[in-house]
Structure 1
C-alpha cells in the first residue's frame, strides 16, 4: 500500500506513536486476548482494515468514473483533467491530515477524531453511490475531509495501548499494518468486480459498506481501548485563543488569496482553478513551515543544522511520492488504455492492478526487515533515500521503454505488475526511514508537527503530478514516463552527491548536542 500512512512498516512503531507523558496506568498491559495483545488492538486493526478497504476501493475506480462518458455512467471529464483532479484529491487528503492531527492534539482528542472522521467518510461514500455530479463532488470532499480527521490518529492510538517498556509494541504495529495491507489488497478486487457488475455507483456502494463496517467495529470496540485517544494531549488554553483566532484568519486569508491567484490565471473559477489553487497551497505550505522553523527563536544552532540536513531528504521524498502516487492517475490510465487485460483467457478489471503494491508489501516487508537488521540499519539514512528514489525513477524509465517497444499495441499485464514491484522495493528503502528521519531531525519545539511535515512531502509531490499532467497534455506515454523518470533520477544523483554532507551534518549536530547535554 501507499506509504501515505506515514509509518515505518519494517521497523516497528514510529517515534511519534506514543504521546509523551502517557501514564502507564492508562494502558492495558496485562491483557492478551487478541493474539497475545489487548482487545483494543483488535478494535483498531479491524477499523483501519475496513477504512483502508473503503479508501483504496474508491480510489481504484475514481479516475475511471470521472473520465468515462455520461452515457456509461461517468462524469465525462477529459483524461488530463481527471488525472489532475485525482492527484489533487490525494493532495487534499494529506493537507487535511495536518488539520486532523492538530484537531486531535488541541481540540477533540484522537478517539473523537477517528469517530467523527469515520462518520464523515461513510457519508461521503454514500453520496458517491448516488448518481449525479453534485452528489459525487460532495462525496469526494467528504471522504477527503473525513480521512484527514481519521488518518493521522488511528496509528497513534495503537501506541497508547502499551506501556513504554512493553515488548509487544513492535509486534502490535506489525499486526496493525497487516490489517492496512489486507484492506488495501482486497478492495480493488471487490470494488472493481462490483463496478464491472453494476456500474460505478455499485462499486462506490461496496466502499460505503466497508467504511460502515469500520465505523461499527470502532463504536462497538471502543470499550476495549481504555484511555487510548480519549484525552486531548495539549488542549487550547484560554489565553491562546486570541492568537489562534488571528492565526486561523491568516490561514483562511492565505487560502483565499491562493485561490484568487488561480482564478486569475485560469480566467475564472472552474475545476482547473481548484486544481491549480490546491497545488499552489501544497507547494507553499512546506516552504512556510521550513521558514517558520528556521526563524523561530525556539530553534537552536544544533537543530538548525539538522533541519538543513533534512531539506534534501524532504525534496527526495517529494519526488518519490510524485512517482509512487501516480498509481491512481497515469498508471490507472495505462492499465485501462495501454494494457492487455486478457490474462490466461480471463478479462480482468484495470482496477485489479492497484492490489499489486499491497501484495508485494506483504511479501517483501519481512525480507527488508531482515536485511536492515542484518546490516545494522546501514547504509545511512541519506543513502537509503537515494536508493528509494532511484529505484522509483527506474520504474518509470522501465515503463517508458516498454511503451516504446509495444508502440501502438497494448503492453502485456506483467509490464505494469513489474512497475509496481519496482516501486514497492523503492518504497521499502525510503518509507521505513522517512518518518523516523523526520521526527529525529525536526526541532524539539516542532516535534509534534513531524507527522505533518512528512505528509506535506506527499501532498507537494502529488501537486507536482497534477501540474505535470496538465503541462504535458498530448505527450506520448514514452516521453511522459521517460521524462519524469529521468528528472527523478537526476534528483537522486543530486542527493547522492549531497549524501556525505547530509550524513556529516547530522553526525556533527549530534556531537554538538551531546556536548551540550541536549
Structure 2
C-alpha cells in the first residue's frame, strides 16, 4: 500500500502544483515570461484542461483492461506525465512546448489516475472490506497531502516569473513517484500485472487502425480550420467544450434508448440519476473555478498576508485540501450517524446551496475589492464553505452511481460520474465570458443563484426522486 500511496501523492503533487500556477502563467505578459493570454481565455484553457483530464479516464481504463494491464498503465502514465512537465519546463519563448506538455499530461493522467485506484482495491481480498476501506482512506490522505504541499512549493519556486522552475518541480515530483513505484513493485504482489481481457491480434489491429484514423481526422480538421485563419486558442476551447457536452448526452441516450434489456425499474432509476448528474455538473462548474477565477482574484484583489506572513496567490490553492483533510472524518461519521434519514437528493441539494453561498461570499468580497485589496480570509471562508459542499456530494455521488447503475452498465457508470466533473469544468471555464457584460460581483451572484436554485429544486423534489431511486426513508431514532 505504501508504494501506491507514495506514487499517488507525488502524482497529485505534480498535478496540483501545475494547476496552482497554470492560469496566472498563461495570463502573464511575455515581458513576465508568460503566454500573454487574456484572463478570460486562460480560464477557458484551464477549464477544458481539467475537463479532458477526467474525460480520458474512460479510454485509460479500457486500455488497462484490454491491452497493458493496470500496473504497466500506471507506470507509462506516470512517465508520460513526467515528460509533459519537462516539456513545459523548457525555458523557451515558444508556446509549442507548453501545449505539447499539457497534451502529454492529459494523456498520461488518463492512464494513471483510474488504474492506480483499481490497484488499491485489488490489494485486499474481496471479503476484507475493513482493510480495503482503510487502504482507500490512506490513499485519499496521500492525494490531499500532495494537493496541500504542491501549491506551497511550486508557487514559491515560480515567484518572480520563474514559471519554468515551478514546472520543473512538478516534473521532479512525478519522477519521485515513478522511482517509488518501480522500487516498491515487489510489494504489489502481481496486482494489475496483466489485462483482464486482452485484445486478440485481430482486435488489436482493428484498434490500431481506429486510433490512426482518429488521429488523422483530427489533424485534418484542425489543419483545415487553421487554413481559414479563424483558429484561435479561445475558439478551440469553445469547440472542445461543445464536444465534451455531447458525450454525456450521447451516452445517456445510448443507455436509455438502446436495446440493453433494461427493466422498467432500471429506466426509472436512470432518469433520477440524470437529474443528479446535472446537479453534480453545476456543482463542479463553480467548485473547479478555484485554479482560474479565484486564483486571479487572489492575485489582483487580495492582500496576501496570513497571520502576518506574506504568501503568494498559489498558496491559496492549499486551503481546500487542508480543509478536506480536517473535515473528512467529521462528515464520514455524520453520514454513518444519519443513515438514510438524509437522502441522496438532500445531500446533493445541500452541496449546491453551499457552493452557491460560497459565491455569495465572493460577490461581497468582489464588491469590497472595488475600494482596494481585501483580506485573504475572505478566500479562506469561501474554500471552507465549498469543502462542506464537496464532502456532501463527491463521495455520495460515487456511491449512488454504483447503486443506480443498470446491470448491463455496472462497470462503466463510474466513468459517467467523472464525466459530470468534466462537463462542469468545461462549462465553468467558459463562464469567464460573462465578465464582458457583468460586473465582478454580479458574475459571482449569477453563478451563486444558479447553484442555489438547483439545490432548492432538489430539496423540493426529494420525495419524487427518492421514489424513482427506490431509496427508502428510515424513521428517526428516538
TM-score (norm 1): 0.85
The runs of 5 or more residues in structure 2 that have no matched partner are 473-478
Corresponding residue for residue 44 of structure 1: 4
Corresponding residue for residue 196 of structure 1: 159
| 1:439 is the counterpart of 2:402 | yes
Distance 1:303 1:240 in 2: 32
- List per-residue Cα deviations over 1:310-344 (Å, max 9, x = no partner): 01000000000001110111011011011111334
Corresponding residue for residue 469 of structure 2: 506
Distance 1:308 1:56 in 2: 35
SS in 1 for 2:126: coil
Q: How does 1:180-259 map to 2 (within 5 A)?
A: 180-196=143-159, 199-237=162-200
Distance 1:262 1:312 in 2: 36
CA apart distance, 1:437: 1.0
Corresponding residue for residue 17 of structure 1: none
SS in 1 for 2:341: coil
Corresponding residue for residue 354 of structure 1: 317
| 1:92 is the counterpart of 2:52 | yes
8 A contact 2:68–2:195 mirrored in 1: yes
Q: How does 1:275-354 map to 2 (within 5 A)?
A: 275-298=237-260, 299-354=262-317
| 1:109 is the counterpart of 2:87 | no
CA apart distance, 1:501: 1.2
- List per-residue Cα deviations over 1:110-169 (Å, max 9, x = no partner): 111111110000001111111231111111111111111111111110010000112311
Match of 1:141 among 98, 103, 115: 103
Q: 1:437 to 1:262 in 2, by over 3 A?
A: farther
Corresponding residue for residue 470 of structure 1: 433
| 1:174 is the counterpart of 2:134 | no
Q: How does 1:335-484 map to 2 (within 5 A)?
A: 335-473=298-436, 475-484=438-447
| 1:79 is the counterpart of 2:39 | yes
SS in 2 for 1:168: helix
Corresponding residue for residue 512 of structure 1: none
Corresponding residue for residue 38 of structure 1: none
Distance 2:54 2:185 in 1: 26
Q: 1:124 to 1:249 in 2, by over 3 A?
A: closer
- List per-residue Cα deviations over 1:352-406 (Å, max 9, x = no partner): 0100011001110111111111112531111111111111111011111222234
CA apart distance, 1:198: 6.9
Distance 2:294 2:281 in 1: 18
Moved more, 245-254 or 435-444: 245-254
8 A contact 1:263–1:273 mirrored in 2: no
SS in 1 for 2:290: helix
8 A contact 2:354–2:386 mirrored in 1: yes
Q: How many residues align?
A: 468
Corresponding residue for residue 271 of structure 1: 233
Distance 1:276 1:263 in 2: 15
Corresponding residue for residue 475 of structure 2: none
8 A contact 1:389–1:492 mirrored in 2: yes
CA apart distance, 1:101: 1.4
Distance 1:460 1:254 in 2: 24
| 1:497 is the counterpart of 2:460 | yes
SS in 1 for 2:198: coil
CA apart distance, 1:252: 6.9
SS in 2 for 1:75: coil
SS in 1 for 2:40: helix
- List per-residue Cα deviations over 1:22-80 (Å, max 9, x = no partner): xxxxxxxxxxxxxxxxxxx0100000000000110011011111111111111111111
Q: 1:238 to 1:127 in 2, by over 3 A?
A: closer
The runs of 5 or more residues in structure 1 that have no matched partner are 1-40, 510-518
Match of 1:160 among 122, 141, 152: 122
Distance 2:461 2:199 in 1: 41
Corresponding residue for residue 86 of structure 2: 126
Distance 1:165 1:176 in 2: 19
Moved more, 251-260 or 495-504: 251-260
CA apart distance, 1:248: 6.2
SS in 1 for 2:374: coil
Distance 1:466 1:371 in 2: 33
Distance 1:196 1:357 in 2: 21
8 A contact 1:191–1:207 mirrored in 2: yes
TM-score (norm 2): 0.92
Distance 2:85 2:10 in 1: 13
CA apart distance, 1:452: 1.3
Distance 1:291 1:257 in 2: 29
8 A contact 2:289–2:429 mirrored in 1: no
Corresponding residue for residue 19 of structure 2: 59
